[in-house]
Amino acid sequence: MRFRSSHPLLRVLAVGLLAAGPLWPAAAPPAAADVVEPFGERYRASLYGDFATIGNTVMGCPRAPADLAARCAAATGGGGANRDDAFVTRRLDTAGTGDAYGSSTGRVRIPEGAEVAYARLYWGGNDGTHRGPGGTELKRCDPSGADAAPSPGDPATTAPLLAVGAKAAAPVSIDSMVVDPAEADGPHYYTGESDVTAAFAGVTGTGAPVAVGVSGVWAPNGKGCVAGWSLTVVHRFPGPDPAEAPERRSVHLYGGHVLQRPASPATTVTVDGFRRSPGKVRAGVVAYDGDRNAPGDRFLVGGKGVTGDTGTTDDFFAGEDDGAVSPDLVDNLSVDAKEFDVPDGAIPVGATSAELAFATDGDAYVPAGLALSVPVPDLEVTRTAGPGPAGRDPVPSPSPTTPEPPEPAEPSPPEPTAEPTDPAVRPASAPSFPTVPPAPSSSVAATTAAPAPGPRHGGTGGSMADTGSHGERLWLLGALAVVLAGTGLVAKAAMRGRRD
């Protein structure tokens, strides 16, 4: 089962845009694994800033029997040989909202002087059902345990609550919800997503961590049951910041739902729409039910494995979370929600796309979120519009103050403004339809001047260097005007010949 919520006007607009052709380069779908919901781009921006990914479990160890509780405590401390399916886990109530649903807390750092450009919440876990051998349907997370004791209601329609800083907790919207089909073998999972940018309204970075609390997470108590959440926050500065944002970056967020099992091929997501410049490349992931003591699971960038906190590339998904406060565990037994540097050479300087892959030949897990941050050049395109010679279409000509632009052998990929790219989560505001400007008289210059920041999420204010699709449109319009002008001259010469 899967569904997405969206405004009716946006659905109509989406149909129209699909009919007119894509406005963004489409990301390639993941390879054919047990894909319940293919990974899709949720947000893309070119800005001075970056992202942070945090998260936490909402499940804890059993209180009894004493020996099992002690073994579980050792496992969450990163020791012992046990995994989550060895324990009857239970919902935590660290937010003080009651034990019918799970809750926990974390913190995210927003650099001093930065503002939040976008934020996305992910949550999920077991749905308390399992399809065993022969198609037997069990109300369990693990076939060897007793029936699970789920939260009230349906995970597909239960929205968690989010509290940011001193603000009161409030329910989030369900922008995307995916539940494994009943015919899927093994344990079943659900995953949800929500654009929670509005929860950070008025939050300006001070450099100190901002408290985050997530409660009301649907979860089952039972053997091997997992549940948790993750939050990815994108921050931006109005211009370069020597310490926190010395270069412009292209930030991409993705979401999906894949059952990554040992027999599945790797799930590969191709991220494009950038041209990498020198600097550090960073990534982040969200995945459920990765086990620290079950090797074989890997995350690769450009074919290179990323080393996890376990010190190996062969056990990358191991219950690791960044920014956790309560509980704060080495292995949370539920969710990976973390950020990290990409290996050197995985995305070469000058690259315009990257392949990120979830793979395993051992431990099964559920990838659900992905983030990538790539340094990109600062390019600025300036243009002026004016009439051409009488009786002819205006033809672009170089400005006397700038060198004549070279002929474009291959246009650069776009560095777009900050905007969510999933139609299901686009803000319900007046639609902005693409327009084709008149053929301009333009001057194009590549500079290192700091362009103004892009518009705020969902807004139309501000400006940004035209380094991508708009710049390409100027070249194409100029070339088209030259062709049309030439065609007109040929036609006039032919008519004179016929009159003579």
> Residue 249 pLDDT > 50, yes or no?
yes
> Residue 19 pLDDT > 50, yes or no?
no
**Distance between CA 228 and CA 332 in Å, rounded?**
9
Q: Does some domain include residue 422?
A: no
**SS3 of residue 69 by DSSP:** helix
Q: Does some domain include residue 458?
A: yes
**Distance between CA 255 and CA 270 in Å, rounded?**
13
Q: For 117, phi and psi rounded to 5 degrees? A: -90, -35
pLDDT for position 451: 34
pLDDT for position 134: 87
Distant-in-sequence, close-in-space partners of 262: CB < 8 Å, separation ≥ 6: 296, 360, 361, 362, 363, 364
Q: For 202, phi and psi rounded to 5 degrees? A: 85, 0
**Distance between CA 100 and CA 270 in Å, rounded?**
40
Q: Does some domain include residue 420?
A: no
Task: Report the number of distinct structural domains present in the chain.
Answer: 2
Same domain, 440 and 355: no
**Distance between CA 363 and CA 493 in Å, rounded?**
74
pTM of the model: 0.74
* CA angle at 208 for the pair 207 and 211, rounded to the nearest 5°: 130
**Distance between CA 89 and CA 82 in Å, rounded?**
13
Number of residues written out for the chain: 500
CA distances from 157 to 1, 2, 217 (A): 12, 11, 11
pLDDT for position 438: 37
pLDDT for position 14: 36
**Distance between CA 404 and CA 389 in Å, rounded?**
20
Expressed as residue numbers, the domain containing 449 is: 380-414+435-499
Give percent helix, percent strand, percent coil of the chain, each to the nearest 5: 15, 35, 50
> Residue 443 pLDDT > 90, yes or no?
no
pLDDT more than 70, % of the chain: 69
Same domain, 314 and 222: yes
Instruction: Give the model confidence (pLDDT) of 85-108 as tens digits.
Output: 889 999 999 988 889 999 999 999
Helices (H), 168-314: none
Alpha-carbon dihedral angle through residues 15, 17, 20, 22, given to the nearest 10 degrees: -120
Same domain, 167 and 143: yes
Instruction: Give the model confidence (pLDDT) of 174-191 as tens digits.
Output: 999 999 999 999 999 999
pLDDT more than 90, % of the chain: 65
Residues 436-445: what's their mean pLDDT? Answer: 34
Residues 468-479: what's their mean pLDDT? Answer: 42
pLDDT for position 379: 65
**Distance between CA 21 and CA 465 in Å, rounded?**
24
Same domain, 371 and 386: no
Same domain, 348 and 398: no
Same domain, 384 and 329: no
Same domain, 39 and 102: yes
Torsion-angle region of residue 361: left (phi > 0), alpha (psi -120 to 50) or beta?
alpha
pLDDT for position 421: 56
Average pLDDT, the chain: 79
Q: Does some domain include residue 429?
A: no
Q: Does some domain include residue 428?
A: no
**Distance between CA 89 and CA 226 in Å, rounded?**
8
Instruction: Give the model confidence (pLDDT) of 140-177 as tens digits.
Output: 999 998 999 999 999 999 999 999 999 999 999 999 99
> Residue 408 pLDDT > 80, yes or no?
no
Same domain, 334 and 399: no
Q: Which of 235-244, 294-303, 410-419 has the lowest mean pLDDT?
A: 410-419
Instruction: Give the model confidence (pLDDT) of 334-349 as tens digits.
Output: 999 999 999 999 999 9
**Distance between CA 44 and CA 416 in Å, rounded?**
7
Same domain, 358 and 462: no
Same domain, 452 and 386: yes
pLDDT for position 28: 40
> Residue 437 pLDDT > 90, yes or no?
no
**Distance between CA 218 and CA 127 in Å, rounded?**
8
Q: Does some domain include residue 426?
A: no
Instruction: Give the model confidence (pLDDT) of 28-59 as tens digits.
Output: 443 345 899 999 999 999 999 999 999 999 99
Q: Does some domain include residue 27?
A: yes
pLDDT for position 81: 80
Same domain, 371 and 405: no
Same domain, 157 and 272: yes
Instruction: Give the model confidence (pLDDT) of 214-232 as tens digits.
Output: 999 999 999 999 999 999 9
> Residue 301 pLDDT > 80, yes or no?
yes
Q: What is the DSSP string of 285-345?
A: EEEE---TT---EEEEETTEEPP-TTSSSSB--SS-BSSEEES--S--SSEEEEEEEPPTT
CA distances from 300 to 176, 395, 406 (A): 26, 47, 38
